[in-house]
Amino acid sequence: MKLLLNAPINSLSFGNVSVNILKEVYKKNHELTFFPIGDKVQIEAFDKSSEGFISFLNDCTKKRYHTIDKDLPSLKLWHIFGSEKRLTKNQSLLTFHEVSKLTEIETNLLKLQDNIFVTSNYTKDIFELNGIENVHFVPLGFDKDFHETNKEYLPDKTHFGLMGKFEKRKQTQEIIKTWLKKYGNNNKYQLTCCITNPFFKDEEMKNLINITLGGERYTNVNFLPYLKTNKEVNEFLNAIDIDLGGLSGGEGWNLPSFNASCLGKWSIVLNETSHKDWANNKNSILVESSGEFECYDNKFFVKGRPFNQGTFYSWDEDAVISAMELAESKAGQINTEGQKLADKFTYSNTVDQILAHIS
């Protein structure tokens, strides 16, 4: 099949999904025309990529102006805002949407697409309630760059991990504060945070962390710098026993928590939004929501703007502490049900489903 793909390649979640889709297109020998969003390819983060794949990607990018054709089916991987720009007459959109509403402008832009692919049934329902047609739920897959290292990292501690950009949506501050209330300065437990948000300046990040810690020093919490490669991310996921990133209030899939589960770790997961499509009480430690909160943080979600309006889901602190205690009792045990997710959800299936609808 011939396909035009318009997507970003960077070390963020969008870039991670783009690269995994590209790898499957390469493996399946489809003819590709690739237009990188931002007109830049940042492949350095994906340090396990084969020379054959990198050569394929470079070739598809260099020849894009020679191989572009108005009749090529195209797939755009991007936000709703900006999705209106198309390169061919037939365009499908793969997008992530976490909030509870669609604005009028978002609805209008979505109606321009020939097909819309979303990674959660929660989003699919919201889109369809707003009159959007041709919406397809397409689950993401396990990134095969990640693997179990079988190393011993902190043998005498129960190691919790929190990965994901510092955001109100992800409830980063609340997660850390709750963990400190339960385990702060108890050196039988360790919390490692990888929460640098590249959209914040260094001073902003330092200030946010200081506020979160209440200006105090804790002996059993550390903050990692931004991890630049999949190799570093793989070490982080293997080093922890328990993932806390699943407590995010709204997700399009939640790659770090999903990948941690696939590697046999235990993730504490809020039973809402996209989490419902892969997490259950066998492969995760579920926490039920206690309500909703407005999404607005005056940074990524600003009230009154034509995009990203609505609510996320909240949780009760006592319920989360109980979940941490349950997770603690499972630390050191391999999450065999979580490991099964790697076989159930694959990018090969993701690409097959997308191409079936496009063609």
- Residue-wise pLDDT for 9-52, tens only, equals 988 899 999 999 999 999 999 999 999 998 778 898 898 899 99
Mean of pLDDT values over 153-166: 96
What's residue 39's pLDDT? 74
* Spatial distance between the Cα atoms of 13 and 19, rounded to a whole number of angstroms: 10
Distance (Å, whole) CA 320 – CA 26: 42
| b/e 265-277 (16+ beta carbons within 10 angstroms → b) | bbbbbbbbbbbeb
User: CA–CA separation, 80 vs 127, rounded Å?
Assistant: 12
Which domains does the chain show, CATH number per domain? 2-143+346-358 (3.40.50.2000), 158-344 (3.40.50.2000)
- Mean of the per-residue pLDDT values of the chain: 96
Residue 44: what pLDDT? Answer: 87
Cβ atoms of 255 and 16 within 8 Å: the answer is: yes
> Residue 98 and residue 268: Cα distance in Å, rounded?
19
Higher pLDDT, 41 or 325: 325
The structure's pTM equals 0.96
Average pLDDT over residues 322-343: 97
First to last CA, the chain: 8
pLDDT at residue number 176: 98
Range with lowest mean pLDDT among 43-47, 111-115, 202-206: 43-47
pLDDT band at 88 (very low <50, low <70, confident <90, very high): very high
- At residue 11, the pLDDT reads 85
Question: For residue range 139-152, what is the model confidence (pLDDT) as tens digits?
Answer: 999 999 999 999 99
Sign (positive or negative) of CA dihedral 3, 61, 113, 80: positive
Question: Residue 235's pLDDT is what?
Answer: 98
pLDDT higher than 90, residue 116? yes
Q: At what angle do helices 317-330 and 172-183 cross, to 10 degrees?
A: 60
pLDDT of 82 > 80? The answer is yes
Instruction: List, for residues 283-297, the tens digit of each pLDDT value.
Output: 999 999 999 999 999
CA distance to 161, 179, 262, 336, per residue, from 266 (Å): 10, 16, 9, 10
Q: What is the pLDDT of residue 45?
A: 86
The pLDDT of residue 12 is 87
Rounded distance, CA 352 to CA 138, Å?
10
Question: Does the structure show a pLDDT above 90 at 359?
Answer: no
- Indicate whether 315 pLDDT > 90: yes
Average pLDDT score over residue span 74-100 = 97
Confidence of residue 325 (pLDDT cuts 50, 70, 90): very high
The β-bridge relationship of strands 311-314 and 291-294 is: antiparallel
Confidence of residue 225 (pLDDT cuts 50, 70, 90): very high
3-state secondary structure the chain: CEEEEEEEECCCHHHHHHHHHHHHHHHCCCEEEEEEEEEEECCCCCCCCCHHHHHHHHHHHHCHHHHCCCCCEEEEECCCCCCCCCCCCEEEEEECCCCCCCCHHHHHHHCCCCEEEECCHHHHHHHHHCCCCCEEECCCCCCCCCCCCCCCCCCCCEEEEEECCCCCCCCHHHHHHHHHHHHCCCCCEEEEEECCCCCCCHHHHHHHHHHHCCCCCCCCEEECCCCCCHHHHHHHHHHCCEECHHHCCCCCCCHHHHHHHHCCCEEEEECCHHHHHCCCCCCCEEECCCEEEECCCCCCCCCCCCCCCCEEEECCHHHHHHHHHHHHHHCCCCCHHHHCHHHHCCHHHHHHHHHHHHC
